[in-house]
Amino acid sequence: MPLAGSEENDALTEHHAHQEKQGFFQRYKGIIILLAVILFVSFFCGFLPFGLPQILTSVGIPAVIRPDIQLPGEALTPTLFTLFGEEVKLTNTFVAVILAYIVLLIAAIVARLGLREVPSGFSHLFELLIEFLYNLSEQVVGAKFARRIFPIAATIFIFLLIANWMHFIPGYDSIGILEHPHVGAGYEVGSWNGILYMKPNPVGAESKPVEEAHPAQPAPEGEASAAEPESACGLGDRCTVVPFARAAATDINVPLGLAVISFVTIQVFGAMSLRWGYLGKFINTNGLARGGMGIMDFGVGLFELILEPVKIISLTFRLLGNIFGGGILLVVVTSLIPFLVPVGLYMFELFVGAIQAYVFAMLTLVFSAMAMAGHGGDH
Amino acid sequence: MTGDIVVAMRFLGAGLAMVGVLGAGIGIGVVAGGAVQAMGRNPEAAPIVQTNMILGIVFAESTAIYSLVVALILIFVAGSIQ
């Protein structure tokens, strides 16, 4: 029987021996990790955003500016024609929508051409996608109407997926036309082997508002001053960039149009399924006839009538807020820390773009299913 | 002078509008917590729970998006309206 205490001694000597056998790194692992974290943070949050752009611009390599962000789509051409009293111009979000259509059409044609006994890889990918969407619509709406509602929901999903993911092609939000700035002071334009780029303001420099650079002209003749084309902004001026293409869903018209399509789909499917009973869901005359609690059912029905157009608003702003907010986030964080951090943000925005597409299609299906059900289901 | 105060108030309003996302954060946490508990009790029902969780998260997030849109309008659109 070993002596009492000798076990501890053995353990202690073992521990010392183990420690001596460990290398330098193992023994001071905690402190080394702490030092590494401090270095990492001071590099990425101190040197990179504030020190590196200075160094790069003094050498001649441009750093990243924060461009002017506008909520409405920006016009690329002067007025093309006038429709119903509104001037129609080509906007950069419209260009993005057209590009998304072209990509979608090409993808559809290539997938169709690849359909054989054993489909090609690309067609197989589309088969997976279609199967996933069809199962989803069957599961939500029921087998009877799945076949009819599936094209609408699938088109919304695939179009939004492509339009949201095309936002990450280099050139969106960054390459465009130089124009005189309307808001703020703009950035100085430099040239590098013939390619024009924007130079960032040195840290701490005051940027004067545009009022002082271009004094506001009094407009006695309203039409004359509006019709005058703006002089082009070029090398040496302070300009701002109007991108050739922006993410399609950042213009409010794209989510609004899709939301109106969803709304019409919901109403049509509710009416197809319940016929006149669908109107009876909102104007609940049966409840009135019953009296008592039925009066409250009538009120609830009227309230649900008001809630229907709210679906358009909520669908629109969910998509717009997510995609536009994500775009602002990317642009601003890239202008602050141009290295490594935007990669994580791009991954996040990829995820958000896919989820928002899925959610839009899913909500169309779910609202249609709710419209096709009877009065709340428990009558 | 009044112009500066108006601009300052616009940005202040935008910041205050974003306080509304607090509720969305809590709501999403509640939804996800309930979903994760349900998945833990019944792992076979995980796909259906996950689908409904995504739906619940989206509904909880929509009010946060409304307040974000109000803030964005204050910052970008309201300044150019005379």
Q: Tell me which of B4 and A290 has the higher pLDDT.
A: B4
Contacts B58 to A, Cβ<8 Å:
318, 359, 363
Nearest chain B residue (CA) to A360? B58
Is it the case that residue A211 has pLDDT exceeding 50? Answer: no
Where on the phi/psi map is residue A171: left (φ > 0), alpha (ψ -120 to 50), or beta?
left
pTM of the prediction?
A: 0.77
ipTM of the complex as predicted: 0.78
Mean per-residue pLDDT, A93-107: 94
Is it the case that residue A8 has pLDDT exceeding 70? Answer: no
Structural domain contains residue B34 = yes
d(CA A223, CA A368): 49
d(CA A320, CA B62): 11
Bridge partners of residue A192, in order along the sequence:
A195
Find the domain containing B20 and state its range.
2-77
Contacts A69 to B, Cβ<8 Å:
76
Choose the mutation target among A157, A351, A359 for the interface with B, i.e. most B CBs under 10 Å.
Answer: A359
Residue A203 has φ and ψ, to the nearest 5°, of: -60, 125
> How close is the nearest chain B Cα to the Cα of A2, in Å?
49
The per-residue pLDDT for B18 is: 92
The per-residue pLDDT for A142 is: 86
d(CA A38, CA B44): 45
- Integer CA distances (angstroms), A295 to A20, A285, A286, in order: 84, 9, 9
Contacts B68 to A, Cβ<8 Å:
321, 325
Nearest CA-CA partner of A129 in A169, A164, A159, A101: A159
- CA dihedral for A220, A222, A224, A226, sign (positive or negative): positive
The pLDDT tens digits for A274-331 are: 888 888 888 877 777 777 777 888 888 888 888 888 889 889 999 999 999 899 898 8
Provide residues of B within 8 Å CB-CB of chain A: 51, 54-55, 58, 61-62, 65-66, 68-69, 72-73, 76-77, 79-80
Is it the case that residue B2 has pLDDT exceeding 90? Answer: no
For residue B76, give the nearest of A70, A314, A358 by CB distance.
Answer: A70
Number of domains in chain B: 1
Contacts A355 to B, Cβ<8 Å:
54
The per-residue pLDDT for A59 is: 65
Break chain A into its structural domains and give their ranges.
Answer: 81-171+248-372
Mean per-residue pLDDT, B44-71: 85
Contacts B51 to A, Cβ<8 Å:
362
Burial class (CB in 10 A: 0-12, 13-18, 19+), A120: middle
Structural domain contains residue B73 = yes
The pLDDT tens digits for A325-373 are: 899 898 888 877 777 788 889 999 999 999 999 999 999 998 999 888 8
CB contact under 8 A, B62 and A363: no
For residue A359, give the nearest of B58, B72, B79 by CB distance.
Answer: B58
Residue B21 belongs to domain with CATH number = 1.20.20.10
The per-residue pLDDT for A210 is: 40
Structure-token pair, residue A288: 């009135």
In our burial notation (b when 16+ CB lie closer than 10 A, e otherwise), range B29-62 reads: eebeeebeebbeeeeeeeeebebbbbbbbbbbbb
Structural domain contains residue B82 = no
